[in-house]
Amino acid sequence: MIRSLHINRLLPTSFRVGAVAPGPAHPPVAKRPQFCYRYNNATTTRRWIATNDITASGKQIILDHQAHENDPNAIVTTITLNRPKANAMGSIMLKEFQDCLADLEDTDTQKTRCVVLTSYSHKVFSAGADLKERATMTQGEAADFVTNLRNTMERMAQLPIPVIAAVEGVAVGGGLEICLAADIRIASGTASFGLPETSLAIIPGAGGTQRLPRLLGSVARAKELIWTGRRISAQEAYEYGLVQHVVDPEKALEKAMELSWKIALNGPVAIRASKQAIEEGMAATDMKEALEIERQNYAKVLPTDDRLEGLSAFKEGRTPEYKGQ
């Protein structure tokens, strides 16, 4: 049975992930929709959210927290893109995405140990920018929107906790740039990826020209993909190093949750420190500077209760219970 803890925030009360114990319907709210976070006990996998429930919410970005059934301190947060039909990123969707990030930055990264980014649909992760809305913008408004989108992707990349993108279907343009801002990408066999902006006489503007070559480790390959606008399959993306796992259709979220629980059950201070050490170390000018960054981050874990708990659990042959302290 899955238990839920309601906190008046962002998630519609109709939202369900997996099986939820039956109970009385929530009473209607007169003047504004009632939203809440739903903390669920969770096993190692999750099924897709019922489309009719999630799309009925009216929210274009859905935030959900799930606690592991064996460790209530191990919480994974899912961010679901929820704008039919193609998760095209318009002004409203971007604002809701920013609100979710602000909430994570302000409060929830203290308890959330991993973020999984997914879509309401198996057919599309995100088709990128809302071009119909873009056509109504002035040149200045378009520039401001792209700058805002670029800054938002950087905010997600700078979260101190791991972010995993679970990709089903199409991830092109800004949709791929969202994936590039994640730490790990998991694709179903039906996923496809591309940056087609040059076919519209523009360039990727939310980090694509910078993150793609760094991720692929090949400037020439990134140039080819950007200059031709060619879309690649999940298998090609895996071979290029763009994604880390390719799974069966409709299994990307399940794999992402499996991986996120493995991360969430490890020492949270260590996970954060290692992410910072890797990110800052990769930007260091030389190995000496990079190793000094590693030393500084190792020093963060030495005085923690979690480190002592890990040693005790190993000695006693039991599963450690980390609290992020």
Q: Which residues form the catalytic set?
A: 129, 174, 177, 197
Q: What is the DSSP secondary structure assignment for residue 129, as one 8-state letter?
A: B
**Amino acid letter, 126:** S
Q: What is the DSSP secondary structure assignment for residue 37, as one 8-state letter?
A: E
The C-alpha atoms of residue 193 and residue 167 are separated, in whole angstroms, by: 10
H helices of 122-233, where?
A: 131-134, 139-157, 174-180, 208-216, 219-228
Cα 109 to Cα 77, 96, 115, distances in angstroms: 9, 18, 9
The C-alpha atoms of residue 204 and residue 79 are separated, in whole angstroms, by: 23
The C-alpha atoms of residue 110 and residue 106 are separated, in whole angstroms, by: 9
Residue appearing with tokens 């059934």: 69
Cα 50 to Cα 86, 99, 136, 171, distances in angstroms: 17, 23, 33, 21
